Amino acid sequence: MIIEEYSNYDGLGLADLVRRKDVTPEELLDEAISRTEKVDPEINAVVIKHYDFAKRQISGGLPEGPFTGAPFLLKDITTLAGTRTTYGSSAYRDYVADHNSTIVERLLKTGVTIFGKTAVPEFGALGTTESRLHGPTRNPWNLAYSAGGSSGGAAAAVAARIVPVAHASDSGGSTRIPASVCGLFGLKPTRARTPIGPNKGLGWTSLVDCPHVISVSVRDSAAMLDALSGPELTSPYYAPPAEGAFLNEVGRNPGRLRIAFSSKSPYGDDLDPEITNAVREVASLLERLGHDVEERAPTLTFDPIEVGEVINGANLVASAVRAAEGRLGRPMTESDLEVLTLLRAHNAQTGTAIDYVTAEQSVFEICRCLIEFFTTCEVFLCPTLCDSPIRIGELDSMSADLSHIQAARRRVWPMPLVFNMSGQPSMSMPLAWHKSGLPMGMMFSGRFGDEATLLRLAGQLEQARPWKSKMPPHHA
């Protein structure tokens, strides 16, 4: 009976069943594999399956951790020794990692059993997961829509209840965007709260990658943050130490918070009335919960999408292409990489060092603006997405005309990137619904280093407007 109720448990709940000997890790793994085989042909979330690795983990003895025995999936952009990591790219289709990333070392200590990897766009560089190598990942709520990106496979797998929590990462919204459209909780931690090594220290330079998880419950995210947090010696950044366990913050009274909100885009544009009304309704809910709520937003002096493209194209995409060329010993062509990847790398080469430094200075100005704004509030609320969710095929990374990609970034996903630039913690919560039948995430961002306040508020909202029992049509 307990296995039949698998979908009712979060990761901590599954681990507690193992701890009480109500189920075994083998039984949970078998159930997760069965669910993968049942639902993944529809959604295409788990693109690399290494069931034997998870079975060897169990037979070798799992460490005692907060998630011991809970099945788990890695994002296919992270190395696990002895398993394939493709980065969503044909150039790496046969790459087998010879070492663990730092975040994987910490995940293994939590006791999870890692039985596969989830789909990403090529090199994780797009807000929809539709790589040429693996094909589109579909949203379990509506198969005509994208599961978001770049952690789209992780979000689809959790939404479909293959697992209750999965690895994700966020350099420009890559956790919060898919969490929004798949009806899940997605927290981007403070810059450098979690490690990105050992192969890199900066990630996307000022837009440092923030590894964490996408989860059904707030408490899973908090418990994982406790397990994954901590300085990495090679990181040039440093997150302020937490005052206590993040898990203890969930359920704690957040007090009377000063919450600013906006139902406009960061460019001041009006949004679809459906999105506007949803934001205002959540603002009203916050007032009923006892918070001081005021409609106002930071005024940004630069376009975050334009600035981000200079930095991302120069640092992430171009360097990834160069690394692939070094690995294969030849120039990359369209048989190796998608047109979008090659074009962005080419554009980076036409820029100058002055362009790059100017973009980084613009990021600094955006940071200053946000720091000043947050002196008058603890939390800022806005929609995670500023337009309707993306349909499968709406963005084509193999098209010769890629102007629509940048337009979509500006129209749909401008807000999450802002808080990668500032390094502040930011979370998406499934508190509304879109006419497409998809969930609509609300994004809450806090002061630098202050995940505690966000997690207290998240716990309060999870109680006031629970979402865990809502299942998509295409679930295991």
Query: Computed from CA positions of residues 67, 431, 449, 119, in that sequence, does the dihedral angle turn out positive or negative?
Result: positive
Both tokens of 10, joined, read: 């979060």
- Which member of 75, 117, 188, 468 is catalytic? 75
Phi, psi of 398 (to 5 degrees): -105, 5
Instruction: Tell me, rounded to whole angstroms, the distance of Cα 392 from its chain centroid.
Output: 19
- Taking a C-beta distance cutoff of 8 angstroms, is the pair 241, 276 a contact? no
What span, in angstroms and rounded, lies between the C-alpha atoms of 70 and 114? 9
Question: Residue for token digits 């349909």?
Answer: 391
Phi, psi of 168 (to 5 degrees): -145, 170
Question: Residue for token digits 């927290």?
Answer: 187
What span, in angstroms and rounded, lies between the C-alpha atoms of 372 and 375? 5
Radius of gyration for the alpha carbons in the chain, expressed in angstroms and rounded: 21
- Which member of 131, 169, 171, 174 is catalytic? 174
What span, in angstroms and rounded, lies between the C-alpha atoms of 231 and 240? 10
DSSP E strands: which ranges in 249-378?
A: 258-261, 292-295
- Which member of 89, 150, 171, 265 is catalytic? 150
Told to judge if 150 belongs to the known catalytic residues of this protein, a careful annotator would answer yes
Both tokens of 462, joined, read: 């999870």
- Taking a C-beta distance cutoff of 8 angstroms, is the pair 445, 379 a contact? yes
Closest CA to 170 of 140, 156, 184, 190: 190
CB atoms within 10 A of CB 319: 15
Both tokens of 20, joined, read: 């009480």
8-state DSSP, 266: T
Both tokens of 91, joined, read: 């150039």
Burial of 435 (0-12, 13-18, 19+ CB in 10 A): exposed
8-state DSSP, 134: T
Phi, psi of 171 (to 5 degrees): -115, -15
**What three-state secondary structure class fits 101?**
coil
What span, in angstroms and rounded, lies between the C-alpha atoms of 18 and 63? 13
What span, in angstroms and rounded, lies between the C-alpha atoms of 163 and 156? 10
Q: Which residues belong to the active site?
A: 75, 150, 174
